[in-house]
Structure 1
């Protein structure tokens, strides 16, 4: 293990700028906590394992939405479509009721499946690991489905878009 004082200092703005050149898919991770739906926009989503079926996402540790999802013990990853920029914007906000104008139905764990999404991956929380200022959340897949094979919403260089 290397002493962190031996590591070069990386400017956080440069870090964001360089990594922003890597396009990511956009998801909305949702749950129901204390009877209320909670959700957040996430670009750091990935598959982890086929056997057992595991996925992961990386929320910031200080996110109130993540606190609600963590307390729920389960979550649903909604794959956002290119026509869901407004929904994504609400999920990325700090609004008190992110679901006021968002149509959804409960998935197997009770977590919201957002109408109009390309598909969903419903999960239980398998493990949470430290990832610096983020947590690394591993979920065990309970159910998943493609709902509508339309173009995905992508995040690239600080903005949202889709394939041209």
Structure 2
């Protein structure tokens, strides 16, 4: 069943039901990190996607309520870390507002200094190209500077409000 809402009906949408239906779409989990002065900063960002191959760009959608994004967006570069299947604890840690998020967390800097989290499945070092309004989120377009991946790990998946892993349905095909 589908529903098309006109502009006046949008405010009447049950946001919990909308969120539940959105939860049927699986997403990866990322932690966005940057050096702010001499200190690393970061936050969990579930809304991340490839945008363009030419030029190479990605997009992320931080919440307008984020206390970390306003600081990170001012850094020369930042890193989008795709968490691996065993890193749900990092997702939870970096989803919290404030506090010492990096205490005890393994990381190393990119050549430009942005933090790459230890054990991440993949990472993208980027610079902010544009930012647009997106309702209760911002749409940040970022230009790719560098990237890498660990082909031995599986990504962390978020589906229907739970962390999940990947099941290979190809059975070796």
**TM-score of the aligned structures, taking structure 2 as reference length:** 0.87
Structure 2: runs of 5 or more not aligned: 1-5, 168-173
User: Counterparts of 1:86 and 1:6 in 2: how far apart (Å)?
Assistant: 39
Residues in 2 aligned to 1:84 and 1:148: alpha-carbon distance in whole angstroms: 16
Kept in 2, the 8 Å contact 1:104–1:112? The answer is yes
Partner of 1:48: 51
Write the distance in 2 (CA, Å) between the matches of 1:72 and 1:130: 20
Moved over 3 A (4+): 3-8
The residue that corresponds to 2:108 in the other structure is 105
CA positional deviation for 1:7: 4.4
RMSD: 1.6
Q: What's the secondary structure of 1:109's corresponding residue?
A: coil
The Cα of 1:9 is off from its aligned counterpart by: 2.3
Q: Is the 1:108–1:143 Cα contact (8 Å) retained in structure 2? A: no
2:28 and 2:59 map into 1 onto residues whose CA distance is: 13
TM score, norm. by length of structure 1: 0.92
Q: Which has the higher helix share?
A: 1
Q: What corresponds to 2:81 in structure 1?
A: 78
Unaligned runs of 5+ in 1: none
Partner of 2:137: 134
> What corresponds to 1:160 in structure 2?
163
Q: Are positions 1:35 and 2:27 aligned together? A: no
Larger radius of gyration: 2
Q: The residue matched to 2:129 in structure 1 has which SS?
A: strand
- Distance of 1:49 and 1:136 partners within structure 2: 14
Residue 5 of structure 1 deviates from its aligned partner by: 3.2
